[in-house]
Amino acid sequence: MSSVDIPREQWATRFGFIFAAVGSAVGLGNIWRFPFQVGQGGGAAFLLIYLLFVAFVGFPAILVEFVVGRYTERNPVGALREIGSGLWQYLGWIFIVTTFVILSYYSVVAGWTIRYTILGLQNGYLADAAEAEGQFVTLATGLEAIAFHALFMASVVVIVAYGIQRGIELAVKVLVPLIVVITVGMAVYASTLEGASEAYAYYLSPEWGTIAAEWTSILPAAAGQAFFTLSLGMGIMITYASYLGEDRNLAEDGAIIIGFDTAIAFITGLIVFPILFTAGVDPGAPGAGAIFVSLAAAFGDLTLGWLMGAVFFGTVAIAALSSAISLMEVVIAYLIDERDIDRTRATLGVGVVLFLLGIPSASDLVLLDLFDLFADQILLVLGGLLLMILVGWSLANLAVDELELGIGDLGSLGAAWIWAVRVPVVVVLFVALALGVIQYYEFLTVDFADWLADQ
For 362-417, what is each residue's pLDDT tens digit? 999 899 999 988 988 899 889 999 999 999 999 999 999 999 998 988 889 999 99
Lowest-confidence segment of 119-123, 159-163, 260-264 by average pLDDT: 159-163
Mean pLDDT, residues 61-89 taken together: 91
Report the amino acid identity of residue 305.
G
Which percentage of the chain shows pLDDT scores above 70?
95
Task: Please indicate whether residue 14 or residue 153 has the higher confidence score (pLDDT).
Answer: 153
Instruction: Give pLDDT, residue 405.
Output: 92
Question: Given pLDDT bands bounded at 50, 70 and 90, which one contains residue 2?
Answer: very low
Q: What torsion do the CA atoms of 326, 327, 331, 336 make, to the nearest 10 degrees?
A: -10
For residue 288, what pLDDT is reported? Answer: 63
pLDDT of 349 over the 90 cut: yes
Q: What is the number of other CB atoms lying within 10 angstroms of the CB of residue 282?
A: 14
- Nearest of 380, 296, 394 to residue 86 by alpha carbon: 394
Distance between the two ends of the chain, CA-based, in angstroms? 52
Q: What range defines the domain where residue 190 resides?
A: 3-454
Q: How far apart are CA 255 and CA 127, in angstroms?
A: 41
Confidence of residue 164 (pLDDT cuts 50, 70, 90): low
CB atoms within 10 A of CB 56: 15
Is residue 77 over pLDDT 70? yes
**How wide is the angle at C-alpha 438 spanned by C-alphas 433 and 443, nearest 5°?**
120
For residue range 21-53, list pLDDT tens digits in order. Answer: 777 777 777 777 788 788 888 888 889 889 988
The chain-wide mean pLDDT, for the chain, equals 86
For residue 377, give Cα distances in angstroms to 266, 285, 346, 383. Answer: 21, 19, 29, 11
Find the CATH number of the domain harbouring 199.
Answer: 1.20.1740.10
**pLDDT higher for 303 or 163?**
303
What confidence category does residue 287 fall into, taking pLDDT thresholds of 50, 70 and 90?
A: low
In total, how many domains does the chain have? 1
The identity of residue 384, as a single letter, is G
Q: Using the predicted structure, report yes or no on whether residue 266 has a pLDDT greater than 60.
A: yes
- The string of pLDDT tens digits covering residues 123-152 is 989 888 788 888 998 999 999 999 999 999
- Check pLDDT > 90 for residue 422: yes
226: pLDDT confidence band, cut at 50, 70 and 90? confident
Q: What is the CA radius of gyration of the chain?
A: 21
pLDDT, residue 357, reads 95
**Burial of 12 from C-beta contacts in 10 A (0-12 / 13-18 / 19+):** middle
> Residue 1 — very low, low, confident or very high, per pLDDT cuts 50/70/90?
very low
Inform me whether the pLDDT recorded for 283 exceeds 60.
Answer: yes
Model confidence at 323, in pLDDT bands (50, 70, 90)?
A: confident
